[in-house]
Structure 1
Amino acid sequence: MTGPEDATPELTHFRDGQPRMVDVTGKAATARTATAEGWVLLPPQARAALEAGTNPKGDPLTVARLAGLAGSKRTADLITLCHPIPVTGADLQVTLEERGVRIVATVRTTAPTGVEMEALTAVSVAALNVYDMLKAASKAIRITDVRLLSKTGGKSGDYRAELRGG
C-alpha cells in the first residue's frame, strides 16, 4: 500500500516533461515582502581604491544601489519561469563593512505570487555592478553568500533565515 508520502511530488514548473509557467490566475493578490543579502569580498587593492575614492569609474556603491533597484524590476526578463509582477517598493542598502561590501535588498509587491526572486536578483545585479566598477583595481573580487533572509505573505507563509556570522 502506498500513501501520500510515497507519491511522486507534482512538479509545478513542468508538465508532461515540458517547462511551463505556473498559472496564478486564480490566486488572490496579497501583500508580499522579501529581503535578500549578498557579499562582495574585496582584495586589498580594490578595497583601497574604494576607500580612497580613487576608482576611475566613480562610486561603485551608488552605481550598485541603482543597478539593484533596476534589476528588481527586470527579474522576469532574466529568470526564465518567473512571473512579471509589479514591484511596488524596493530598498537597497550597499555598505562597506569589514568583511567587504554587504548588499541587502527588500522588495515589496501586491501580487498573486512571491517576490523572493526580485530581492535575490536585486542583490545579484548590485553585486555584479560592484565587480564591474572595481575590476580595474582587482580581478580577484568575489561575490558570495547570496541568500534569502526573509519573506512574508503567500500560501507558504513567512520565512526567516537563521542568523549567522558575517
Structure 2
Amino acid sequence: MSGLTHVNKNGEANMVDVSNKDSTTRIAKARAQISMKASTLQKIKDNDFKKGDVLAVARIAGIMAAKQTHHLIPMCHSLNLSKVSVDFEFIKDGIIINTLTKLNAQTGVEMEALTAASIAALTIYDMCKAVDRFMKIGEIQLIEKQGGKSGHWIRDTYPVGKQQSSGMVLEDV
C-alpha cells in the first residue's frame, strides 16, 4: 500500500495529517466540458430558459460545491477558500467550464476545483434537460496546480517548461 496517502499501513482509510506541512499559497484550475445541440447552446446564450439564467445558476452551484467538497469527498480536509471562480467558454458544440480555487494552507485545492467544474456541468445539464436530454458531460480534468511541495505544474496540453513522466509539465519558476 505504499504511495497511497489516504491508506494507512494496515490498508485502512486514513485522513492525511498535514499539520507538519508548510502553509503556502495554493491554486488549482480545473475544467469540464458539456456538449449539446446547437439549439440548446443558443437558448443558453439568449438566456431563454424558464428555470432562469443557466450560467448564473451554474456559477453559483460550482462555487457552493467547491466550498462543500469536504462533505462530498471522503478524507478531504475542510478548507477556508480565499477564492473560487467559475467561468464559461462557448465552443461549437457546447460549453467549457473553467474553475479556479485558491487559499493559503497546508494542503492543496485540486479536489475543490474539480468539484466546482463537475457540479457546474451537472447544473447546466439539470437546467437544460427538458430541451436536450442528449447532452454529454466529459473532459473533467485538473489543468494546473500551484503551491506546496510539488510546485507548479500544468497539464501537458498546455505546455510550459519541462515535460514530466506523469504527463504533466513542470513550470520553470
The higher relative CO (CA closer than 8 Å, separation ≥ 6) is in: 1
Give the C-alpha shift of residue 43 in structure 1.
2.1
Alignment of 1:77 with 2:46, yes or no, is: no
Structure 2 residue identity aligned to 1:108: K
Q: Secondary structure at the match of 1:105?
A: strand
Output aligned runs, 1:24-43, within 5 Å.
24-43=18-37
Q: Secondary structure at the match of 2:55?
A: helix
Give the C-alpha shift of residue 84 in structure 1.
0.9
The equivalent position to 1:14 in structure 2, one of 7, 18, 22, is 7
Where does the alignment leave 5 or more consecutive residues of structure 2 unmatched?
Answer: 159-173
Give the C-alpha shift of residue 45 in structure 1.
4.2
Tell which structure's C-alpha radius of gyration is larger: 1
| C-alpha distance in 2 between matches for 1:18 and 1:94 | 39
| C-alpha distance in 2 between matches for 1:151 and 1:132 | 29
Deviations 1:35-58 (A, max 9, x none): 111111012442243244332211
TM-score (norm 2): 0.85
Structure 1 residue identity aligned to 2:6: H
Q: Secondary structure at the match of 2:133?
A: coil
After superposition, the CA RMSD in angstroms is 1.5
The equivalent position to 2:154 in structure 1, one of 160, 163, 166, is 160
Structure 1 residue identity aligned to 2:132: S
Q: Secondary structure at the match of 2:151?
A: coil
| C-alpha distance in 2 between matches for 1:65 and 1:149 | 18
Task: Count how many residue pairs are aligned between Structure 1 and Structure 2.
Answer: 157
Q: Secondary structure at the match of 1:35?
A: strand
| C-alpha distance in 2 between matches for 1:56 and 1:97 | 23
Q: Bigger shift: 45-54 or 64-73?
A: 45-54
| C-alpha distance in 2 between matches for 1:95 and 1:139 | 21
| C-alpha distance in 2 between matches for 1:157 and 1:28 | 13
Where does the alignment leave 5 or more consecutive residues of structure 1 unmatched?
Answer: 1-7
